[in-house]
Amino acid sequence: MFTGVNCSKAMGRHCEGFPSPALRSIIEENNLFLQLRKRGKTVRFADAYLIDSPDDLKVRRFKSATTVMALTAPETIATSEDLMQNRAIMQDITRETIQDRYPDIPVITPQRAAEHLFGIARESDFTLFEFFQTDVSGHSLDYARACSVLRAYDLFLSALVRFIEAAGLTLVMTSDHGNIEAMTERGHTTNPVPFIALGPRASFIRDRVKSLVDVTPAILAAFDELG
């Protein structure tokens, strides 16, 4: 999704979890952040890492695909201090999942998190927020947990859409796989995933996306047309 490369085909299989060295190389060589920066655009990864510096991420053995991409543009990475100053969003939206380790970071409502994300998005040409509690709760097979996650996400999105529409920004939403919609199996599903685009560039982007490999090229094309 972040490269325009069919990585499952390149690797010969669907890769769950953390990317292998070969997959990391694909992401590092050609990803959405790099391509946007080459076009002179500012990018931001809104998710906060509970770290003091981007250098702390480099030594981690296991890195997600998004982390690998973010490390190619370290200035996009948000730290614990950014989260405290409301310049970043916790991946669970409300910060509830980190209270046992970081009680000094206050819990916020989904609506307030949406306000924070909107503020971040207004400062950059492209902002990415990754929400994976749907994936975590899907793997857990805990129905009550899944419902709680979806309720918070719904409140968050409802507020975010209002902000986005009022400001005339474009919002793109999708997923790289299914999971939470099938609470009878722990693994990723092969169900089709939604692709949603709202805002001034929505039709342009939607018309160009038929699969996950089209997402990055469509976003880049939208920026190219705008100049």
Rounded CA separation 138/150 (Å)? 11
Decide: 21 and 103 in contact? Cβ < 8 Å: no
pLDDT, tens digit, for every residue of 61-81? 889 999 999 999 999 999 999
In a domain, 171, yes or no: yes
- Does residue 209 lie within any of the structural domains? yes
Q: How many CB atoms lie within 10 A of CB 226?
A: 11
Residue 77 lies in a domain: yes
149: its two tokens = 């996650």
Instruction: Determine what percent of the chain falls in helix, strand and coil, rounding each to the nearest 5.
Output: 50, 10, 45
Residue 1 lies in a domain: no
Contact between residue 93 and residue 153 where contact means Cβ atoms under 8 Å apart? yes
Does 35 fall in a domain?
yes
Banded model confidence at residue 19, pLDDT cuts 50, 70, 90: confident
Q: Is the pLDDT of residue 227 over 70?
A: no
Is the pLDDT score of 163 beyond 70?
A: yes
What is the C-alpha to C-alpha distance for residues 205 and 221, in angstroms, rounded to an integer? 8
In a domain, 168, yes or no: yes
**pTM of the prediction?**
0.91
DSSP annotation of 189 reads B
Written as one letter, the residue type at 182 is: A
pLDDT at 8: 79
Tally of structural domains, the chain: 1
- Three-state DSSP class for residue 136: helix
Across the chain, mean pLDDT equals 93
Confidence of residue 16 (pLDDT cuts 50, 70, 90): low
Q: Which domain holds residue 137?
A: 7-226
Please say if the pLDDT value at position 176 is more than 90: no
Helix (H) or strand (E) run with residue 127 in it: strand 126-128
Whether 25 shows a pLDDT value over 70: the answer reads yes
Residue written as token pair 């996009």: 76
With respect to residue 2, please indicate whether it lies within any of the assigned structural domains. Answer: no
- Which pLDDT belongs to residue 47? 98
pLDDT of residue 20: 87
Share of the chain above pLDDT 90, in %: 74
| Residue 172, in any domain of the structure | yes
CATH for 58: 3.40.720
